[in-house]
């Protein structure tokens, strides 16, 4: 009986070890750029990445095979800033992929290099046809306009004068809106950095809603690699970080809260 019991315990130990081994995390795929998942219609999921140097949105199937490459027209001396709302049946009813993208340029106003950022946003389809052109727009959200009715809100800011000129354009959405892209008024907020460009210190303003007590601000380089992260709480409303030792260039940052929701991506430059 003792021998039988030892055999049973040994078998259980082997099975347990096998189950633990099978449950370990394994790397499935590495992308050199920031990747995100999107439901492009009622049934199909895709991954997409934002390639800033090549001004491209590359879309992949769930098995990581390439699905489509969409070239994003970005003027000379401008840079890709954000890609949102990759979809198939939201902005119209055809089968082509559409997306919203934003790009920016730094406009100098004097010989000392002072100036302002100018943002522009477009909605295009995979063939390059422009569905919406929105000058000066940097922020874009889909909000519930009334019960079950959703609208696209485009917020423009003209930094070329003081005080800044702001505006809001509201668009009807003719197609199906996936719930994952809807913005609520209770969203946490990450705001534009200042000074921008920065040389020694940069301030990253943020706001946590009443349902969040802490979050993480993550900083990425232009390839989507995480270079730093900072834990923040609702006792403060900004994060000040030294940047003197960081390589010069463009960085992106966003706020992630306890529910793992990623906020709108912002950007700052180190000179």
Extents of the domains making up the chain: 35-183, 189-270
Using only C-alpha atoms, what is the Rg of the chain? 23
Q: Are the C-beta atoms of 166 and 157 separated by less than 8 Å?
A: yes
Model-level pTM greater than 0.85? no
Q: Using CA atoms, how far apart are residues 157 and 222, in angstroms rounded to an integer?
A: 24
Residue 186 above 80 pLDDT? no
Selected from 3.30.310.10, 1.20.200.10, 2.60.40.3080, 3.40.50.300, the CATH number assigned to the domain covering 189-270 reads 2.60.40.3080
DSSP-derived 3-state class of residue 22: helix
Least confident of 28-42, 184-198, 238-252: 184-198
Bridging pattern class, strands 98-108 and 238-242: unpaired
CA atoms within 13 A on the CB side of 44: 15
Take residue 76 and report the two structure tokens written for it: 């000379």
Confidence grade of residue 3 (pLDDT, cut at 50, 70, 90): low
pLDDT at 235: 72
The CA-based dihedral angle spanning residues 123, 117, 159, 227, taken in that order and rounded to the nearest 10 degrees: 90
Predicted confidence (pLDDT) per residue in 55-102, tens digit? 999 999 999 999 999 999 999 989 888 899 999 989 988 899 999 999
pLDDT at 19: 52
Take residue 103 and report the two structure tokens written for it: 């790009």
């Amino acid at each position: 009986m003792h021998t039988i019991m030892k055999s049973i315990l040994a078998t259980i130990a082997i099975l347990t070890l096998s189950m633990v081994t099978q449950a370990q995390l394994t790397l499935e795929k590495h992308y050199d750029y920031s990747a995100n998942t999107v439901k492009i219609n009622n049934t199909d999921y895709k991954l997409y990445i934002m390639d800033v140097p090549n001004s491209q949105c590359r879309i992949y199937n769930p098995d990581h095979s390439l699905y489509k490459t969409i070239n994003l027209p970005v003027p000379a001396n401008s840079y890709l800033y954000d890609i949102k709302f990759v979809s198939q049946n939201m902005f119209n009813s055809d089968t082509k992929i559409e997306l919203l993208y934003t790009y920016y340029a730094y406009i100098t106003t004097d010989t000392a290099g002072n100036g302002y950022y100018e943002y522009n946003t477009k909605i295009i389809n995979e063939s390059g046809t422009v569905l919406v052109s929105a000058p000066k727009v940097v922020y874009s959200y889909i909000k519930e306009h009334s019960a079950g009715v959703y609208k696209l809100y485009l917020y423009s800011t003209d930094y070329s004068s003081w005080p800044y000129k702001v505006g809001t354009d509201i668009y009807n959405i003719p197609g199906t809106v996936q719930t994952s892209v809807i913005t609520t008024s209770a969203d946490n907020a990450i705001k534009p950095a200042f000074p921008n460009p920065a040389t020694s210190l940069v301030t990253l303003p943020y706001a946590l809603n009443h349902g969040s007590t802490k979050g993480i601000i993550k900083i990425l380089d232009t390839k989507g690699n995480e270079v730093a992260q900072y834990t923040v709480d609702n006792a403060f409303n900004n994060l000040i970080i030294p940047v003197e030792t960081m390589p010069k260039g463009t960085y992106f940052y966003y706020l992630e809260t306890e529910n793992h929701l990623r906020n709108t991506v912002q950007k700052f430059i180190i000179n």
